[in-house]
Amino acid sequence: MTDERTNGGMSGPPGPPPGLAFAQPIVTGILIGTAFLVIFLLALHHPAPNHVPVGVVGSADVVRTLEAGDAIAPHALNDAGQAKEQVMSGEIDAAYVVEGTQHRLIVAGARGPVENRTLTAFFQKLSGQAALEVQDVVPISPQDPNGISVFYVLFGVTLGAFLFGQTMHGFRRFLSLGRKLLALAIFSVLLGAISSAVAQGLVGAVPGNPLGVMAVMALLAASVAAFTMGVTTLLGDIGVAVSTIIALILGTAVSGGAGPASFLPAGFAWMSQGMPPGAAATALRDVVYYDAGAALGPVAVMLVWLAISLLVVVGAPAGRRRTEQVVLPAVKTAPSA
């Protein structure tokens, strides 16, 4: 009589040992929850300037003072006109202008209130004046006064893409490679379009060209979904936990939250622009508030993640089949008695 206890009394392939079936959900949940807490709190609990690019006009002493610290990366500029132009193009985050006894800070509201409040307080203290004139030359959308909408859009798309990749792993035996790739393409375009429609059409929190926003979000969806598919192709079920920690938790944490990557701790800031969510955050701000041409670098980062992941998705199964054909010995039929 067949022992069916390890499969809940149901017929079919035997399940995992009872001990493993009991412990694995507990361990997985604790691992993912702990990773989320540690990574998000370390990255976002105390935003502080970390080599923020700021232009300085009219004071060599200020440049030397700023160069002695780690908060600001000063750029000596010729005049206020050049400073305003570079802030508006996104080359620098802000500019500190000293003209005689007048001190002025040129900022981009699109960088978010966290950065602008911090820089205003920093340079007001540096100026020694009771009040510092602040000029916002790239105002943020009035429907997004706290500057958090970009992060929510990124998180929603990243979460959806991860869940798509996880679901594709569950249905991997029922779909050919061609159907998997077709599903990935359809999913990415649809989620990109939906994210643009919700963030721009329904809520109105993200301005800019809808096609540009849709393209960036579709590329983010494709790169994260393909990465999840690639990791689970290589590692199997454990790849779900690995891709959760890398793509979903770490990726969204280093995207910067409500502030730019230059307000993350040094290690996280270094990773930010090399991961799809962080690259997408920069590309989305460029498309929405600055010159869309500046988004080419972040777009290239997402394309690299997508290309490498697709190579794994396509190549790993083929390589595994070739290995099995070489390793498995031919079955010999015993001679009849």
Question: 197 with 218: CB under 8 angstroms?
Answer: no
What's the distance, CA 57 to chain centroid?
Answer: 34
Phi, psi of 135 (to 5 degrees): -115, 120
Task: Give the mean pLDDT of 163-192.
Answer: 94
Residue 163 sits in the same domain as residue 124: no
- From 136, 167, 184, the end of a domain falls on 136
Residue 141 within a domain: no
Residue 111 sits in the same domain as residue 258: no
Predicted pLDDT of residue 75: 93
Residue 325 within a domain: no
Q: DSSP code of 248?
A: I
Residue 165 within a domain: yes
The candidate with the shortest Cα–Cα distance to 299, out of 315, 314, 285, 313, is 285
Predicted pLDDT of residue 157: 97
Residue 186 sits in the same domain as residue 293: yes
Those residues with Cβ within 8 angstroms of residue 58's Cβ, 6 or more apart along the chain or in another chain: 97, 98, 99
Predicted pLDDT of residue 1: 45
Residue 259 sits in the same domain as residue 213: yes
Residue 21 within a domain: no
Those residues with Cβ within 8 angstroms of residue 124's Cβ, 6 or more apart along the chain or in another chain: 105, 131, 132
Residue 324 within a domain: no
Residue 172 sits in the same domain as residue 131: no
- From 105, 136, 167, the end of a domain falls on 136
Residue 231 sits in the same domain as residue 124: no
Residue 312 within a domain: yes
The candidate with the shortest Cα–Cα distance to 272, out of 291, 296, 297, 255, is 255
Predicted pLDDT of residue 337: 47
Please check the confidence at residue 203 and state whether its pLDDT lies above 50.
Answer: yes
Question: 290 with 138: CB under 8 angstroms?
Answer: yes
| Percentage of residues in the chain having pLDDT higher than 90 | 59
pTM to 2 decimal places: 0.85
- From 107, 136, 165, the end of a domain falls on 136
Please check the confidence at residue 73 and state whether its pLDDT lies above 70.
Answer: yes
Quick: pLDDT tens for 93-124.
999 999 888 899 999 999 989 999 999 999 99
Q: Note down the domain range covering 114.
A: 52-136
Residue 65 sits in the same domain as residue 196: no
* CATH code, domain with 91: 3.40.190
Residue 231 within a domain: yes
Residue 175 sits in the same domain as residue 239: yes
Residue 118 sits in the same domain as residue 157: no
Sheet with 72-77: list strands edge to edge: 72-77, 52-57, 94-99, 102-107, 133-136
Task: Give the mean pLDDT of 225-243.
Answer: 93
Please check the confidence at residue 7 and state whether its pLDDT lies above 60.
Answer: no
Number of domains in the chain: 2
Residue 107 sits in the same domain as residue 176: no
Residue 334 within a domain: no
Residue 231 sits in the same domain as residue 313: yes
Residue 124 sits in the same domain as residue 161: no
